[in-house]
Amino acid sequence: MSLYDLYIISPYVAMAGAAILVIIFDLVSPNKALLPGAAILALLAPFAMSLFQLFDLGDASSLLENSSAAGAAPSVLLGSLSVDRFALFFNFLVIAATGLVVAASTEYVGQMNRFRGEYFGLILFSATGMMLLASATELITIYISLELTTMPLAALSAFLMTSRSTEAGMKFLIIGALSSAVMLYGMALIFGFTGSTTLEGIAAVVASPAQDDVAFGSYAVLVGMVLILAGFGFKISAVPFQMWVPDVYEGAPTTVVAFLSVASKAAAFAVLLRVLFTGFFDVGLEWAGLIAVLAAVSMTVGNLMAIGQSDIKRLLGFSAIAQAGYILVGVAAGVKSSSTGFGTLEFAAIGPGSVLFYLVAYTAANLTAFFAIIAITNRTGSSRIDDLGGMVKRAPLLAVALTLALVALIGVPPTSIFIGKLYIFTAAVNSGLAWLAIVGVINSVISAYYYVRVIRTMFLQPSVSQDPISAPVSSWIALGLAGGAMLWMGIMPGYILRMSEGAAAVLGG
């Protein structure tokens, strides 16, 4: 491995190194209150390396391909990773989400007598896997990155060491292991037929099928692709692979749930887009219908199941299932447009670009909601919706922040998800999936019922206590940054829209 190869993987090495340094700092430092600050400072290293790579990339499609074109020796990483605008886009998104969650965890971690360093270390290790997922272009690399993402999250889900937390960790671990096994079997089938584990190698084989009347030229590859999609379905919490979501959201620590709900989902959609549009959609196969049905079912099931929930964390769990459905609308639109021969610009604007923008918008809105809930539940000790009664008097700023976040999740202007839904539904209509956009609009109206119910409880129902609720400075900073981003993207979305389209154009090149 050359020095240039080390430079290519430097953001991931820096993130993993940050996790190790935080654990060591916990061992040697007598002041445990400094751990969150140390973790946030450690994030500056992967951020700086990603920023340097972004400037170094320039107009090139990938740093690895740019190096090979310049006459340098082929990198040992060529075919395994792609350091392009798509990967760097998700690097910044994961780093931002990780930093905000770490800041919001200050009060929660302060209540722990042990394992503070391990808590932050596991979050950073999981973030390393998420960053690798966005750049992985080879099946083995994808699998290892998925496991690096999932295993720390399973441990973090059980971190409270209560019966519910342990149950959440076990469910996440077992169902995650099953989905990984299914996906790994699918990868084995694909490798057995194509003889390659790289997405480019697979694309070259399936583009010239051995049997023209069989999808991908082989039933084995078709079954393998279905199994891989099933594995990804668990990671993105889409129906019918969503059964773990409400229990894990309810039992796991709220700070872990906040991290899991946005960063993990973003990374899962990143690798899904990379696999679909790099490896398997250079063929004349109509997958848009299948993905569109999954999107419609996920939206509908998530929203209908959320209506009867009495726990705010379970409610947001079912909301996450519905949100996965909305994001899949953009995936379906991209698949549909690619099969009808759109050029690169149209491809970026009509499908994956809308997905990338929505993921950023959802990250800002969902983190705002969870940060407000973390501050409230740390004082009340309850996540029941009824216990939010009178919250506007006890914590007016937190109540307003949570209200804005819930309004954003509905898709009401001037919030980020309003622009995201408008972008995704427009992409669906332009790609010939108008019926799916209609289903999405109907589901947005349905979701208003249970989101508004929470708002009504905070503003109109009497309070069970008159004690005021406060939060540490770090939590207010995290809440302010997430909420500010949510409103900024709703009022001035142009910058993130351009970044999203530029990153997505890499897939359609």
Counted domains in the chain:
1
Split at pLDDT 50, 70, 90, the class of 72 is low
More confident residue, 397 or 284: 397
For residues 130 and 149, the answer to whether their CB atoms sit within 8 Å is yes
Nearest Cα neighbor of 253 from 364, 153, 124 is: 153
Confidence at residue 178, expressed as pLDDT on a 0 to 100 scale: 87
Q: What is the CA radius of gyration of the chain?
A: 22
- Six token digits for residue 248: 């894990």
Nearest Cα neighbor of 293 from 224, 237, 239 is: 239
Q: Is the pLDDT of residue 387 over 70?
A: yes
What is the distance in angstroms between the CA of the first residue and the CA of the last residue of the chain?
Answer: 28
Residue 67, domain member (yes or no): no
Average pLDDT over residues 451-467: 85
Confidence at residue 441, expressed as pLDDT on a 0 to 100 scale: 92
Residue-averaged pLDDT of the chain: 83
Confidence at residue 202, expressed as pLDDT on a 0 to 100 scale: 81
Confidence at residue 344, expressed as pLDDT on a 0 to 100 scale: 42
Confidence at residue 216, expressed as pLDDT on a 0 to 100 scale: 58
Average pLDDT over residues 155-175: 86
Q: DSSP 3-state assignment of 246?
A: helix
Residue 33, domain member (yes or no): no
Residue 506, domain member (yes or no): yes
Q: Is the pLDDT of residue 349 over 50?
A: no
- Six token digits for residue 285: 């196969």
Residue 242, domain member (yes or no): no
- Six token digits for residue 54: 């972004």
Question: Could you give the percent of the chain with pLDDT greater than 70?
Answer: 89
Which range, 46-50, 243-247, 410-414, 503-507, is most confident? 46-50
Residue 62 CA to residue 53 CA, distance in Å, equals: 10
Buried b (16+ CB within 10 A) or exposed e, 470-505: ebbebbbebbebbbebbbebbeebeebbebbbebbb
Residue 488, domain member (yes or no): yes
Residue 15, domain member (yes or no): no
491: containing domain: 286-509
Confidence at residue 96, expressed as pLDDT on a 0 to 100 scale: 94
Question: What is this structure's pTM?
Answer: 0.91
CA 86-92-94 angle, 5° bins: 100
Q: For residue range 200-226, what is the model confidence (pLDDT) as tens digits?
A: 888 777 766 555 555 555 677 778 888
Buried b (16+ CB within 10 A) or exposed e, 262-293: bbbbbbbbbbbbbbbbbbbbeeebebbeebbe
Q: For residue 103, what are the CA distances in angstroms to 188, 259, 283, 368, 478?
A: 41, 12, 45, 13, 6
Residue 323, domain member (yes or no): yes
- Six token digits for residue 458: 């905070």
Average pLDDT over residues 101-119: 82
What is the DSSP track for 433-474? -HHHHHHHHHHHHHHHHHHHHHHHHHHHSPPS--------HH
Residue 222, domain member (yes or no): no
Q: For residue 22, what are the CA distances in angstroms to 27, 44, 117, 190, 412?
A: 9, 13, 6, 40, 40
Confidence at residue 371, expressed as pLDDT on a 0 to 100 scale: 92
Confidence at residue 383, expressed as pLDDT on a 0 to 100 scale: 82
